[in-house]
Structures are given as C-alpha cells and as structure tokens.
Chain A
Amino acid sequence: MAEKTKSLQAKEKRGPISEAEQIVQGPTFTPEVDIFETDGEIVVVADMPGVKAENLDIDLRENTLTLAGKALSPEGPDEVDILKEYQTGTYFRQFTLSEMINQPEIDAKMTDGVLRLTLPKIKPATPRKITIKAV
C-alpha cells in the first residue's frame, strides 16, 4: 500500500444518542457505523463486538430502522477484574430512512462482530416517455 496507514486510537465507547430514557439493563452504547448507498441499495455496517447473531434485533417500521444488539459478559464467575478499560452492554441505534425499502429482500450478516445490513431500494417506476403520434 502506497499511502501510509494511520494508526488507530482507542476511544471511549459512546453512550446513547437519543434523549429517550433507557430501560435496558446495564450500559448502552452507540455502535460506530458506516452507511453507504448505491443505485440499488443502502448498506449499513455497524461494529458490535461480542454480539452473537441470536442476540441481535433488527427492526424496520415506518422508515425507522432500529439496531439493538446485546453483548453478554464473557467473563467466568471466578474471574476478578485487574484492569477494566471497556464495558460490555447493549448497542442501540436508530436511523430514519428516506428511501422505500424492499423489506422481504433485506439481508443481514454478522461476521467477526460486524453487522452488515443490505437494504434494497424499491425501484421507482421507470419513466415512460409517451410519444404523441400525429394523425
């Protein structure tokens, strides 16, 4: 790679963005996301380390996309903390989508703690040019 790769900095996990009160047990974090769009689809990529596929909820209703994933504490019962720089808890984030999404075609994949959600757009009706024939 020609360009110099930058070195990563550790950041404190971000708390919830929404003002709504949380009734989830334990700490809640805002996962970091990439969202990009191509002609046919919107792709949401979210970092949710420690979240297993079965503990992840994805919900789309009335243009609001909700991601909620619970990371269970991996520590055994006999383990004693020596150093604790991060906490585990629930990742939660909501987005409002402007495009119409083809719901049955939504695809979600969880690999190495990264969620990749593909939301295909409903194709708009192709404009049809009407030619008027001169009689």
Chain B
Amino acid sequence: MIIRNTLGNLPRLRWNDTFEELERMKQEMERLYQYPAMKIFREPAAGVFPAINITEETDNYYVRAELPGIKADDLELSIANNTLTIEGERKSDPENENTKYHRREREAGRFSRKITLPAQVDASKTDAKCNDGLLTIVIPKAESAKPKKITITAL
C-alpha cells in the first residue's frame, strides 16, 4: 500500500476492490460448474474414446481430438440435430513373425463418440481437418445462436 501511495499515479487498491475481485472469482467458478459439460471437466467422459476439447468463438465452435496414427479415411464424421458423431478405427501395424516386442502400449480398435453441441449450429458449413494426429472440426454457429449487438435508441 505504501509503495502504491508513493507512486502516486497508479490506481489505488481499495478494500472494496479486493472483495469485488473475490466475488468475481466466485461467480466465475459458479459459471464453470453450471455448464453441463463442466461436470466432466478434465477427465475423459466415462472413458469414451477419443478425449475431446471444445472451445467457442463468436461465430464458431471448435471440437478437437487427439487421434495419433488415424488417417482421414479411417474417420467418419456426421452432424444431426446439433449432435456431432465421430467414428472410426485405429488400425494396428501388421505383425511380423520375426519381430520380438519389448513394449506394446499403443492400442488399436474401433471408437464412436457423440457430442451434443451447446447451441444451434450450421452443420452445412462444418469444416474438418486432421493434421499431425490432431483432428480439428470447425462448426459455425447458426445465426440464431450468434451473439447480437443491441443498439439503444435514445428517445
């Protein structure tokens, strides 16, 4: 406090501000837990492969999944009624009789996951790409789901 006062020009930290900051953090935490998706924050949903990250921007949703070794041909994506389906198969390397395995941790098999998006989307403009084993799906929000700026008219 003393430093702040001596510096003079800096905005002063009042008691009020400290509590406002705490209140803001509390509200932020509550907001996080209100999202239905947040109940499974940072843990794979019932072990359904693949683990997924979803982010949003003003106009788009971004759905990302780590799918190492899976080619675009091995993947099937579809959207119906705001539900995105990711299906596919991870194939194992063909085994050779002459090889001796020291470690076998990478798994192969089929997977299927459905995710319901939080708002209406424009499925026809969805874009998906798979780079370096990372699947990125960009789904534009429907016009009705985009935030609208409301102008206030002065009377």
> Which residues of A come within 8 Å of B, CB atoms?
5-12, 32-39, 43, 45, 47-52, 71, 74-76, 78-87, 110-114
Residue from A10, A79, A114 in contact with B47 in the complex, judged by beta carbons closer than 8 Å? A10
Closest 7 CB pairs of A and B: A113-B133, A49-B133, A10-B44, A49-B66, A113-B68, A79-B55, A8-B49
Q: What separation, in Å, do the CA atoms of A7 and B112 have in the docked complex?
A: 8
Interface residues in B, total, Cβ within 8 A: 55
Given contacts A8-B107, A8-B109, A37-B100, contact A82 B130 (CB under 8 A): no
Q: Is the CB of B49 within 8 A of A10?
A: yes
B79 is an interface residue with CB less than 8 A from chain A: no
Q: What separation, in Å, do the CA atoms of A76 and B53 have in the docked complex?
A: 13
B67 is an interface residue with CB less than 8 A from chain A: yes
Residue from A5, A78, A83 in contact with B37 in the complex, judged by beta carbons closer than 8 Å? A83
Q: What separation, in Å, do the CA atoms of A63 and B78 have in the docked complex?
A: 48
B148 is an interface residue with CB less than 8 A from chain A: no
What residue in chain A is nearest B58 (Cβ atoms)? A78
Given contacts A10-B48, A34-B103, contact A112 B62 (CB under 8 A): no
> Which residues of B come within 8 Å of A, CB atoms?
35, 37-38, 40-45, 47-58, 61-62, 64, 66-71, 89-90, 93, 96, 98-112, 118, 130, 132-134, 136
In whole Å, how far is A126's beta carbon from the nearest beta carbon of chain B?
19
Q: Is the CB of A49 within 8 A of B101?
A: no
> Which residues in A have their C-beta under 8 angstroms from that of B133?
47-50, 112-114
Q: What separation, in Å, do the CA atoms of A114 and B148 have in the docked complex?
A: 43
> Which residues in B have their C-beta under 8 angstroms from that of A12?
43-44
**27 pairs of residues in contact across A and B, judged by CB atoms under 8 Å:** A5-B110, A6-B109, A7-B49, A7-B110, A9-B48, A10-B48, A11-B44, A33-B106, A34-B104, A36-B102, A37-B102, A38-B96, A45-B93, A52-B132, A79-B62, A80-B55, A80-B56, A81-B53, A82-B55, A82-B118, A83-B35, A83-B52, A85-B43, A85-B44, A86-B52, A113-B68, A114-B68
